[in-house]
Amino acid sequence: MRFKNLFAVPITLVRSWSSGISPDEFHPSQSQFKFIIRWCGRFCHSRFTWGRACVDSVVHPMKPQSVLPFEKPIADLEDQLVTLENQPSPTPATLDAIRAVRVEIVKLKREVFENLDAWQTVQVSRHQERPQAKDYIELICSEFVELHGDRAFGDDRAILTGFAKLDDFKVLLIGQHKGRTLKERTECNYGCAHPEGYRKALLKMQLAAKFGVPIVCLIDTPGAYPGIGAEERGQAYAIAVNLREMSRLPVPIICVVIGEGGSGGALGLGIGDHVAMLQFAYYSVISPEGCAGILWKSVKHADKAARALKFTSRDLLNLGVVDEVIPEPLGAAHRDHRVMAATLKSTIIRNLKLLLAISTDELLERRYQKFRRIGDFEEQVTGGSTAGASGVDASES
């Protein structure tokens, strides 16, 4: 379909609706639909980045290239929908079939993703197309000035740091990045930071505190890098210093687990006034494979370990480890980066407004008490025990 003048598209739509066809019943062919969207993109000046992004997101909907085992029925229905939509002259029966398939896809996505078990949640959090720190920086920040190096050893690419602007808020944004291509993943050590990465993050946090700038941490790592060089340069000490110093910083700190939250590598950036996690992320003291290797001597039992660790967003919210679970788009974040980024941005801004209204002394006291409250213990009197002056033997669990 070709339009010879600028107003042909809206005129065509108006004529269709004026002839008794409602907007819900207007179903252009895929070629017509693509032309309309591209025309709108050009009208909005496609040289702007956001204009091109809007066109791409509609003309090329985000269908994952990598399909998880439990997503296979959804992928089959999506392939069926593409086949139906590509028919050049759809009949009324075809249009009815398209509507039915769309409804079925939504229903199936909701059914599958509302009933994921712990191991399936881990698989979603590791999805190759799941948005990473750099993706969120591009989508939610109007400005970002990256800062490099720890002034001691080098620049760890697994941790990105820089001053950013979220609407009217100036923040220091710190994100753990895994990388997309093989080259980038090698540079980033698949998101596993070295000691210089944690020192870099702390140095920038102290700089932000000096100027009263809030801090936002995006956590996504399977764990700190376990190599000999990292241990020789003080991996455990670097993480421990971060824990201590982050608890004392006199500015609001918001931490969000956007994917994997593995072990001390995640905790090294996880001390904050508000700790949140995405719906299909996990936050754990150890990876399920590591736990299975220790308890059952085989990674084949990773699914069993995942269930035992209780590290999903629902579990951690009930246990009081996290303060909020951020919902993901239908079908998880890897299906719609922009919607997920918009939700994340609104959550960060809402909490920034709340935290900036609190005095520094109260902020630090609340942060301290927040982590002191994590964990439950019980005191029990054992039969016949005479230990201690009171005769009570306390045991913790």
Structural domain of 23? 1-60
Q: What is the mean pLDDT of the chain?
A: 83
* E strand residue ranges, the chain: 143-147, 159-166, 169-176, 215-221, 253-262, 274-278, 282-284, 324-326
| Claim to verify: residue 218 and residue 147 sit in the same structural domain | yes
Q: In the predicted model, is pLDDT for residue 126 greater than 80? A: yes
| DSSP bridge pairs for 256 | 218, 276
Q: Under 8 Å CB-to-CB from 116, ≥6 apart: which residues? A: 70, 124, 280
Asked if residue 300 and residue 244 are part of one domain, the reply reads yes
pLDDT tens, residue by residue, 322-364:
999 999 999 999 999 999 999 999 999 999 999 999 999 999 9
Asked if 139 and 205 sit in the same domain, the reply is yes
- pLDDT, residue 34, reads 53
The pLDDT, as a whole number, for residue 86 is: 87
- For 49, the 3-state DSSP assignment is helix
**Which of the listed residues 18, 40, 60 is the one where a domain comes to its end?**
60
- Mean pLDDT, range 120-137, rounded to an integer: 93
Domain boundary among 15, 33, 60: 60
pLDDT tops 60 at residue 389: no
Same domain membership, residue 215 and residue 91 = no
**Nearest CA among 372, 263, 250 for reference residue 321:** 372
Residues 308, 251 share a domain? yes
Residue 383 counted as domain residue: no
The percent of residues above 90 in pLDDT, for the chain, comes to: 59
Would 391 be classed as within a structural domain?
no
What does the pLDDT read at residue 390?
A: 44
Both tokens assigned to 279: 């719906």
Neighbours of 200 (CB within 10 A): 28
What's the Rg (C-alpha) of the chain? 25
3-state secondary structure of 292: helix
Q: What is the CATH number of the domain that holds 239?
A: 3.90.226.10
In this prediction, residue 392 has a pLDDT band, given cuts at 50, 70 and 90, of very low
- Whether 22 shows a pLDDT value over 50: the answer reads no
- DSSP state at residue 296: T
Q: Does residue 379 fall inside a structural domain?
A: no
Rounded average pLDDT over 219-238: 91
Q: Using an 8 Å Cβ cutoff, are 250 and 235 in contact? A: no
Direct distance between the N- and C-terminal alpha carbons of the chain, in angstroms, rounded to an integer: 71
Question: Do 185 and 257 belong to one domain?
Answer: yes
Please indicate, yes or no, if residue 154 is contained in any of the structural domains: yes
**Whether 368 contacts 356, CB under 8 Å:** no
Q: What pLDDT does residue 252 have?
A: 96
Cα separation, 113 vs 331, in Å, equals 6
Report how many domains make up the chain.
Answer: 3
Residues 140 and 91 in one domain: no
- Do 105 and 77 share a domain, yes or no? yes
**Residue pLDDT, tens place only, 214-224:** 999 999 999 89
Whether residue 122 lies inside any domain: the answer is: no
Q: How many CB atoms lie within 10 A of CB 268?
A: 29
Q: Which residues contact 327 (CB under 8 A, 6 or more apart)?
A: 279, 343
CA 261 from centre of chain: 10
Asked whether the beta carbons of 295 and 270 are under 8 A apart, the reply is: no
Res. 7 pLDDT band, cuts 50 70 90:
very low
Q: Is the pLDDT of residue 150 over 80?
A: yes
Helix or strand holding residue 54 (H, E): helix 49-59
Residue 297 has pLDDT above 60, yes or no: yes
Q: Are residues 345 and 211 in the same domain?
A: yes
Do 213 and 277 reside in the same domain of the chain?
yes
The confidence band for 88, taking pLDDT boundaries of 50, 70 and 90, is: confident
352-372 core/surface letters (b: 16 or more CB in 10 A; e: else):
beebeeeeeeebbeebeebee
Distance separating alpha carbons of residues 305 and 22, to the nearest angstrom: 54
Cα 39 to chain centroid distance, Å, stands at 33
DSSP of 121-153: HHHHHT-TTS--HHHHHHHH-SEEEEE---SSS
Q: Is the pLDDT of residue 245 over 60?
A: yes
Q: Domain check: are 183 and 278 in the same one? A: yes
Read off the pTM. Answer: 0.77
Query: Does residue 182 sit in the same domain as residue 266?
Result: yes
Question: Quick one: average pLDDT of 373-385?
Answer: 73
Residue 3 forms part of a structural domain: yes
Relative to beta strand 143-147, strand 324-326 is unpaired
The mean pLDDT value for 48-63 works out to 43
In a domain, 207, yes or no: yes
Cα 54 to Cα 48, 329, 380: the distances in Å are 10, 17, 61
389 domain residue, yes or no: no
